[in-house]
Amino acid sequence: MSALFKRVLWIVLTAAVITFNSGAVPMTFASSGNIVVIGHPNLPINSISKTDLKNIFTGRKIAWSGDETIVVVILKKSKTHDRFLSKYVNKTSSQFRSYWIRLVFSGKGVAPISLASEEDMVDYVSNTKGAIGYISSNTNNTGTKIISVE
Amino acid sequence: MKKIMFITVSVIMILAGSPQAYNMGGVDIHGFVSQGYLCSDDNKYMANTEGGTTEFNEFGINFLSRITGKLTVGLQFFARDLGDYGNDDLKLDWAMISYGWKQWLGLRAGNLKIPMGFYNDTRDLDAARVSILLPQSIYNETSRDISAGLQGAGIYGNIPLGFMGNANYQLLFGRMDTEGENSGLYAFFRAQAQTGVTAIDMDDVFVSSLIWETSLDRLSFVDGFRLGWSYMQTSMEMDSSLTVNFAINEATGMLVVPDGMGGWTPFPAPPGVQPDYYFHVYYDTDIDVDMIYDVDNFDKNVYSVEYVYKNLTLAYEHQFTGIDISIFIDTGEEFEVFEYGGRPMLNFHYTNEAYYVSAAYRFCEWFEMGVYCSFSYYDKDDKDGEGLYELDTAETDRIMGADAWLYDDCVSLRFDLNENWTMKLEYHAMDGLFSVEPDDDGNTDKNWHMYAAKMSVSF
């Protein structure tokens, strides 16, 4: 057995063991829904594709049609934040944070606005041109536009 | 003094309050500070690690502002200390203006980070990974300034590929700052040429990067898969000096030098010519020789694969660094006869090969574990170091041939005390001596171990 093979085998076995333990401490949430994407009332869209939504929250798409800045708004650590990331961005909150750290410290992206509560999210999105965010479906969304995800 | 300043600034920044991003007048301010400890049981690796060293820290602060929806400007200052490298000199790490005309086409100009491999442009940021040291086979810290950034311009974009996902590309063109004699570039060539390097003049640098990412919509079962290729090409002239004890083979008139075993060997040994130990030396002296290494081509290819599934991240990267060198010799007027009439004394080509495989798993919000196996070879066509064995001399205690490779098996533990504070512990089992320095007594050990610890704050 070559040294290379032993090393690769060691890595694969280690990865397998820790993967099978993944149920012990759940870090991701089932895509159970109950997430509503909201935007500023004057946003030029009423619906958005999953791909575009992911592109916006990963900093690839930075402007709406025309030159209006997309203002990405996220929640700080919360179940709604974790559910949104799991359902639409396919990242855990730690992966999402690492991803944005990489963009920010390489100059390739301006970090999203991070807010502490869903009420703050609604207030900020309703008053900020170009803003897009998310809340749980049982949060009052007055003043924002509901954007359906296709 | 610089160390004291570094610690003072760091403590003030940390004690100023809960570390978080700041926004002043539309300018986002982010930063990071880290302090580490490296210790090896034998040899020196990147710093004076035998017995332990705290000369291992980084500091960065950046300012980023979106002027309009498509126009972004920013800059980052950075300082680091890693043994003899950096010495906490504050420098402009990157500064750029970026215009994203369309999602698929944008323009960047300024001092730009180089996208070699998946992790090069964030290699200084401890919070972005599980390990303390990125696999040194690809992300060698001692040669950071060869691959960290360039001054120039480029285009970039993200191209939607429908159900195939999307492709990210970057094309950059510019020049590198070699940072002077204490830079990693000088150290890199000192190690490669095994002589003192006095000056390096680099030509233009071309960099390209292409990354394909799978899509969420149609291929959800493989979402999280990335495949990348990055390429860098440049050329340079490197001047070095050394003192040679030489003589002339009376029979052949050939320039010869001591072979370290009491005899003499041709300098250099032309192909097919065997050393002649039996001749009368009629001239024997020390002379100062200026060597000019004309690196006609320096190119690097990195092939990268990454797969993220829930909390598991797997990665594999493979790098080839090709180097074509012509060596010219200048012995001064007195010994002009030994020069080669403007022709290179020696031409050769070799290719460094390096790769690693890694796995990382986040068990919970505050704990993540990672492993990687990293492999480096001085010459992909001489992985056992047989050629180096022939060149090596008996005057050192270096293990014959082991200069040709370095294997690094690493285990890392990451503890996130909160979103901003991170503590890490790491163990490396090493085999080989490529890029490794002897200890203070001049001894080396082929099989050795290294331990590392690091505390980081980012905001």
Rounded distance, CA B176 to CA B230, Å? 17
Match 């009376």 to its residue by tokens.
B250
3-state secondary structure of B431: strand
Strands A145-149 and A47-48, how do they pair?
parallel
Averaged confidence pLDDT in chain B: 81
Show residues of chain B in contact with A61, CB under 8 Å: 103
Inform me whether the pLDDT recorded for B279 exceeds 50: no
Residue B26: pLDDT above 90?
A: no
> Quick check: is B261 in a domain?
no
How many CB atoms are closer than 10 A to CB B406? 23
Residue B450 sits in a domain whose CATH number is 2.40.160.10
> How far apart (Å, rounded) are the C-alpha atoms in residues B355 and B376?
7
Q: How many domains does chain B have?
A: 1
| Residue A20 touches partner B, C-beta closer than 8 Å | no
Do B60 and A105 count as a contact with CB atoms less than 8 A apart? yes
Give residue limits of the domains in chain A.
3-149
The closest alpha carbon to B239, from B176, B196, B179, B303, belongs to: B196
Distances (CA, A) of A47 to A51, A64, A132: 12, 13, 12
CB contact under 8 A, B223 and A90: yes
First to last CA, chain A: 51
Q: Which of A24, A69, A104 sits opposite B64 (nearest CB)?
A: A104
Among residues B388, B350, B395, the alpha carbon closest in space to that of B257 is found at: B395
Band (pLDDT 50/70/90 cuts) for residue B22 is confident
Q: What is the pLDDT of residues B73-88, one digit of tens each?
A: 999 999 999 988 888 8
State the residue range of the domain holding B50: 2-239+293-458
Instruction: Provide mean pLDDT across the span A73-96.
Output: 91
Superfamily of domain A3-149: Periplasmic binding protein-like II (3.40.190.10)
Are B311 and A110 a contacting pair at CB < 8 A? no
Kindly list the distances between the CA atom of residue B81 and the CA atoms of B58, B84, B129, B178, B438, in Å, as whole numbers in the listed order.
7, 7, 19, 17, 20
Interchain contact A51–B (C-beta under 8 A):
yes
**Reported ipTM exceeds the 0.90 cut:** no
Q: In chain A, which residues have their Cβ closer than 8 Å to the Cβ of B69?
A: 62-64, 66-70, 130
Please tell me chain B's helix, strand, coil percentages from 3-state DSSP, rounded to the nearest 5: 15, 55, 35
| Interface with chain B: mutation pick from A4, A11, A105, highest number of B CBs within 10 Å | A105
From the list B64, B216, B372, the residue facing A54 with the nearest CB is: B216
Average of pLDDT values for B409-432?
A: 94
The answer as to whether B279 is a domain residue is: no
Neighbours of A94 (CB within 10 A): 19
**How close, in Å, is residue A108 to chain B by CA atoms?**
8
Chain B CB within 8 Å of residue A128 CB: no
A14 touches B: beta carbon within 8 Å? yes
Span B54-58, average pLDDT: 94
Report the alpha-carbon angle A69-A75-A77, nearest 5: 145
DSSP B277: -
Q: Is A104 in the B-facing interface, judged by CB distances under 8 Å?
A: yes
Is B224 a domain residue?
yes
The pLDDT of residue B358 is 95
Instruction: State the Cα–Cα distance between residues B414 and B426, nearest whole angstrom.
Output: 9
Residue A37 CB neighbours (<10 A): 21
Phi, psi of B84 (to 5 degrees): -85, -5
From the CA of B242, how many Å to the nearest CA of chain A?
39
DSSP B284-332: EEEEEEEEEEEEEEEEEEEEEEEEEETTEEEEEEEEEEEEEEEEEEE--
pLDDT above 90 covers what percent of chain A?
52
**Mutation target vs A (from B220, B318, B362; most A CBs, 10 A cutoff):** B362
Write out pLDDT tens, residues B327-368: 777 766 555 545 555 666 677 788 999 999 999 999 998 999
SS3 string, B98-111, reads: EEEEECCEEEEEEE
**B274 lies in some domain:** no
pLDDT average, residue stretch B401-412? 89
Tell me the per-residue pLDDT of B67-123, one tens digit each, with 9 for 90 and over: 888 899 999 999 999 988 888 888 899 999 999 988 899 999 999 999 999 999 989
Residues of chain B positioned with their CB less than 8 A from the CB of A77: 419
- Token pair 């005309």 in the structure block, residue: B101
Residue A17 vs residue B203, higher pLDDT = B203
